[in-house]
Amino acid sequence: MRQRNKPWAKDKLNEYPQYVIASPQEHKGKWDTVFDQKQPLHIEIGTGKGRFITGMAKANPHINYIGIELAESVIVTALDRIIEEEIPNVKLMNVNANDLEEFFAKGDVDRVYLNFSDPWPKSRHAKRRLTYKSFLQIYENILVDQGEIHFKTDNQGLFEYSLTSFSEYGMLLTYVSLDLHKSDYEGNIMTEYEEKFSNKGSRIYRCEVRYQ
């Protein structure tokens, strides 16, 4: 995602502790207390400008959501959406996915979403892909037993790599679409990247996988 320099972004994130979780390590093992309602928790990693996570939160008020994003200059746009729409069941975390085990205990999270993750096409950068085996281990360590990852991308190479990575890790593939927008899948909420790439004619790949 293109990042413009926004020197004010960090201050703005700090101004809204009701939406941006300032010290996530303090909530490890007790995320229920952070939200108004005690209900399942789904997280999106690499949430970008927040179109997906806010759309999901509005469509599914019986689920709590956290959008996780490394770049403060990007996540600040997601914050604007939440402020404007006063969505109670979504919060944000400006952290790196590498550190998720510091913030979530085993079983804290019910589902992980990965949407249009950076493809890192060079094989020497494979370890940076959010579907690399070390990330799958991190997600397993914070998810409920038999927790799920839902993944979509326009990048065929990343999709094929990820299917192999999930399979080699021993995960079960429960849904796959090689052309989401032409499939019968209902209730798709588009991300910013999804809209951009599908408008250019790109095909969108989507899968759901489960730990066993």
Shortest gap between Cβ of 96 and ligand SAM (angstroms)?
5
Q: How many residues bind ligand SAM (CB under 6 A)?
A: 21
Q: Distance between alpha carbon 134 and the CA centroid of its chain, in Å?
A: 16
Annotated binding-site residue? 101: no
Question: Which residue of 96, 137, 156, 174 would you call a contact of ligand SAM, by CB under 6 A?
Answer: 96
* Max CA pair span of the chain: 44
Comparison of 148 and 194: residue with beta carbon closer to ligand SAM? 194
Q: For the chain, report the end-to-end CA distance as a whole number of angstroms.
A: 33
Shortest gap between Cβ of 66 and ligand SAM (angstroms)?
12
- Of 29-37, 136-144, 191-199, 201-209, the window that binds ligand SAM (rule: CB under 6 A) is 191-199
Active-site positions?
118
Q: Which residues from 34-63 bind ligand SAM, rule CB under 6 A?
A: 45-48
Question: Which residue of 34, 70, 83, 176 would you call a contact of ligand SAM, by CB under 6 A?
Answer: 70
Annotated binding-site residue? 77: no
Q: If binding is defined by CB under 6 A, does position 140 make contact with ligand SAM? A: no
Binding residues for ligand SAM, rule: CB under 6 A, are 1, 45-48, 68-71, 74, 96-98, 115-118, 191-194
The annotation places the binding site for S-adenosyl-L-methionine at 44, 69, 96, 118
